[in-house]
Structure 1
């Protein structure tokens, strides 16, 4: 029940934040791309969250511990601080692009962006379902075991793969090409996060070193 309350509060605050990030820069509520994006985001996160509340509330609770203060490693604090700046900036620039007409994004591309948002979020939530220790902060808990099946049999960091898909989808869904400029810095900080996280996992998670020899790719099969 406590986790459900925290989840509902987090979802409510998230929707308020999205509303401010989207409709204030837009200067209007007549912005169908924003409404569709919010609906896609809500459905893609709420449905899996309800499943986790019933089956593994501890996993959902781990996902709600995020932010620079939740990190114990100095580099991770910096990475999360950068993400906390870049992600809202991506929204604002994408909305201003749409409002001021810097780029013309056709409706099919916007809907493709919504599909990418749904895929990215769903992928991240499936990771949490498959690995209940997939926390929002970089840590190894007492009793944590290695997960090497499912999505983890394809890449070592499938949640971050979902994050990359999400980063590409958000600007397109909001009717912007200029918002995509934030994908490159997003990838850079994600790569830094992965390298630092793998140092911790190699040191503290039993079997992780052998796992890296079996699953070679970190983020995208046959690429990296």
Structure 2
């Protein structure tokens, strides 16, 4: 139970941090789009995290070790700084957008954005379940083998596909067209991360080069 409470506490801290990034620039808590997003994000992140803590705590720990500090490769530290910077910029610009009324995003589109975020989080969770070696840091385990079924049969990096969905859905969920500007930099750094990660996997993971010939798409099926 203590472990479950710890996961819930970490999730709450994450929500508070995101809330500050949005509400402080907005200058108000009268921001229904942000409240709905936080509710969706909290439920879509907490419930799977608690499930993983009960059923597969090792996988959850790999998922929770993230960020520039957790990365062992210098290029990945830079990439993660860029990705986190994009996420922070989306939240902050969305808050300012709400304050100054730069965008007029229909409520229906905001709710669609929430759905896209939830789907993206769901994809990340599915990856964690389907691949016990899945990690938010770039590394190869000593006993790791190639997983080519499930979502890995569609793209080689489905966790990052989920990240892209969250990047796209976030500014819409927060009601900001202007924040969409920061989606492309986020996708660009993910693409750079994939390029570097594939070099590592090709060199250190048996069977990965053969897998790349079977599954051609890295991030988006039939696109790239």
- Same fold by TM (over 0.5)? yes
Gaps of 5+ in 1: none
Q: Contact between 1:94 and 1:176, CA under 8 Å: does it hold in 2?
A: yes
Q: Contact between 1:3 and 1:60, CA under 8 Å: does it hold in 2?
A: no
Q: Runs of 4 or more off by more than 6 Å in structure 1?
A: none
- Partner Cα separation in structure 2 for residue 3 and residue 133 of structure 1: 21
Secondary structure in 2 matching 1:142: coil
Shift of 1:84: 2.2
| Paired positions, count | 224
Shift of 1:119: 0.7
2:47 aligned with 1:29, yes or no?
A: no
Equivalence map 1:133-152=2 (5 Å)? 133-152=133-152
- Partner Cα separation in structure 1 for residue 98 and residue 5 of structure 2: 36
Over aligned residues, Cα RMSD in angstroms? 1.3
Partner of 1:109: 109
Partner of 1:183: 183
Q: Contact between 1:93 and 1:179, CA under 8 Å: does it hold in 2?
A: yes
2:74 aligned with 1:87, yes or no?
A: no
- Partner Cα separation in structure 2 for residue 203 and residue 91 of structure 1: 37
Deviations 1:70-112 (A, max 9, x none): 1111110100111222211110001211221111101011011
2:56 aligned with 1:53, yes or no?
A: no
Q: Contact between 2:59 and 2:132, CA under 8 Å: does it hold in 1?
A: yes
Per mean C-alpha deviation after superposition, the further-off stretch among 78-87 and 158-167 is 78-87
- Partner Cα separation in structure 1 for residue 9 and residue 104 of structure 2: 36
Decide whether aligned partners of structure 1 residues 210 and 187 sit closer, same or farther in structure 2, where only a CA change above 3 A counts: same
Shift of 1:4: 3.2
Shift of 1:6: 4.2
Secondary structure in 2 matching 1:11: helix
Partner of 2:171: 171
Gaps of 5+ in 2: none
- Partner Cα separation in structure 2 for residue 172 and residue 95 of structure 1: 12
**TM-score (norm: length of structure 1):** 0.96
Shift of 1:156: 0.2
Per mean C-alpha deviation after superposition, the further-off stretch among 165-174 and 9-18 is 9-18
Partner of 1:20: 20
Decide whether aligned partners of structure 1 residues 137 and 2 sit closer, same or farther in structure 2, where only a CA change above 3 A counts: farther
- Partner Cα separation in structure 1 for residue 6 and residue 146 of structure 2: 28
Decide whether aligned partners of structure 1 residues 148 and 2 sit closer, same or farther in structure 2, where only a CA change above 3 A counts: farther
